[in-house]
Amino acid sequence: MSIRPFRDIKRKKTKKIKVGKINVGGGAPISVQSMTNTLTTNVEGTVKQINELTEAGADIVRVSCPDKDSSLSLKKIINQVNVPIVADIHFHHKRAIEAANSGADCLRINPGNIGSKEKIREILKAAKDNNCSIRVGINAGSLEKKLLEKYKEPCPEALVESALNNIKFLEDKDFFNFKISVKSSDVFLSTKAYRSLSEVCDYPLHLGITEAGSLTSGSIKSSIGIGILLMEGIGDTIRVSLSANPIEEIKIGYEILKSLNLRHKGVNIISCPSCARQGFPVIDTVKILEEKLSHLKEPITLSVIGCVVNGPGEASQTQIGLTGGGQGSHMMYLSGLPHHKVVTDEIIKEVVSLVEKKSKELRNN
């Protein structure tokens, strides 16, 4: 039993490409990405962070290749990880070629800062030779000079025109293994650009609000921008860009998808803000439960409500529920029905035990 969505989102059907073992587009589950912030030449540190991101749920991880030593380090890194690696390339086309030859599963390039068409042709050849996909990353901060001269400033029309120009160039070179992004740090600019691009092309779209900011403000901006587009059926893979630990990007990405009933991973806790009616310390309880249940991967819904005003109703829609009662005695619900009581001091132990038992059942079925 799980929460029933008010409505299902009808996703736009796009072409399907592969980023390593992960399908992107074509109705595949929306993948969640992040990016390392270690020095890529620090192979041990980068591998460690990639593995931590993988454990947190990252489907794809991007690694920056600002110099030759970094792009050549990819070969050692890729041999030690189990997640597709995207090489992030700016300015120098040889870094992209080196990354493709080193085993990158995808190249993120911004044609606006790569240079001549001939250099991009060389990148496409290396990508083809190595069965490597490409993300065409159009960014408001690095648009082609001629488009800035035409539009005077970054705007949705400029981002979309840049994307379409690059799509045509890749198609003319018989290259179709690519996805696209049209990012800006401005929510309105980004969402309008993605909407317009989605109307005129069916390549998979990588969603994100670039340079969104700190953990709190960046999560809010990203949730609004990415969430609006996902609700409209737009988007095939997402990256939440935060000035924070990259693991937080994965957590927020999954929370966005869970809130829209697009993808479920781990325990989804429905909890009240607490008030004078609470029968136990809701805020502290939820904080502890989030930490103790964070290792679980199976999708489970858990409601933690402090009193009987909304508790039974929420519990009826979740797999496991806790509703606060009087005199330190609270009701546990299983599959939406009242099951047994638990005292305040035993709440954490009891809820963790029930959720882990449910997780094991789901894992074995």
pTM, 2 dp: 0.90
What angle do helix axes 117-129 and 93-101 make, rounded to 10 degrees?
Answer: 0
- 245-292 tens-digit pLDDT: 999 999 999 999 999 999 988 999 999 999 999 999 999 999 999 999
Residue 2: pLDDT band with limits 50, 70, 90: very low
- Looking at residue 117, its pLDDT comes to 84
Residue 116: pLDDT band with limits 50, 70, 90: confident
- Looking at residue 240, its pLDDT comes to 97
Mean pLDDT calculated for residue range 181-204? 97
- Looking at residue 229, its pLDDT comes to 98
Instruction: Compute, in degrees rounded to 10, the torsion defined by CA atoms 187, 189, 192, 194.
Output: -80
Residue 333 in this model has a pLDDT that exceeds 90: yes
Distance CA 32, CA 235 (A): 11
Q: Classify residue 8 by burial, with Cβ atoms within 10 Å: 0-12, 13-18, 19+.
A: exposed
Phi, psi of 194, deg, nearest 5: -65, -40
Superfamily holding 17-259:
Dihydropteroate synthase-like (3.20.20.20)
CATH topology for 267-364 is Sulfite Reductase Hemoprotein; domain 1 (3.30.413)
Q: How many Cα atoms are found within 13 Å in the side-chain-facing hemisphere of 253?
A: 29
Residue 142 in this model has a pLDDT that exceeds 90: no
Mean pLDDT calculated for residue range 51-79? 96
Residue 3: pLDDT band with limits 50, 70, 90: very low
On average, the pLDDT of the chain sits at 94
Residue 7: pLDDT band with limits 50, 70, 90: low
Residue 212: pLDDT band with limits 50, 70, 90: confident
- Looking at residue 6, its pLDDT comes to 52
- Looking at residue 150, its pLDDT comes to 95
Distance CA 303, CA 301 (A): 7
- 123-136 tens-digit pLDDT: 999 999 999 999 99
SS3 of 244, please? coil
- Look at the block and give the residue holding tokens 């065409």: 136
- Look at the block and give the residue holding tokens 């035409």: 150
Q: Are strands 22-24 and 106-109 parallel, antiparallel or unpaired?
A: unpaired
Q: Are strands 206-207 and 31-35 parallel, antiparallel or unpaired?
A: unpaired
Phi, psi of 36, deg, nearest 5: -70, 155
**Closest C-alpha to 108, from 85, 128, 83, 131:** 85
Residue 110: pLDDT band with limits 50, 70, 90: confident
- Looking at residue 75, its pLDDT comes to 96
> What is the DSSP code string of 324-349?
--STTEEEEEETTEEEEEEEGGGHHH
- Domain extents for the chain? 17-259, 267-364
In sequence order, which residues have a C-beta less than 8 Å from that of residue 84 and are 6 or more positions away? 19, 20, 21, 22, 59, 60, 61, 105, 106
Residue 1: pLDDT band with limits 50, 70, 90: very low
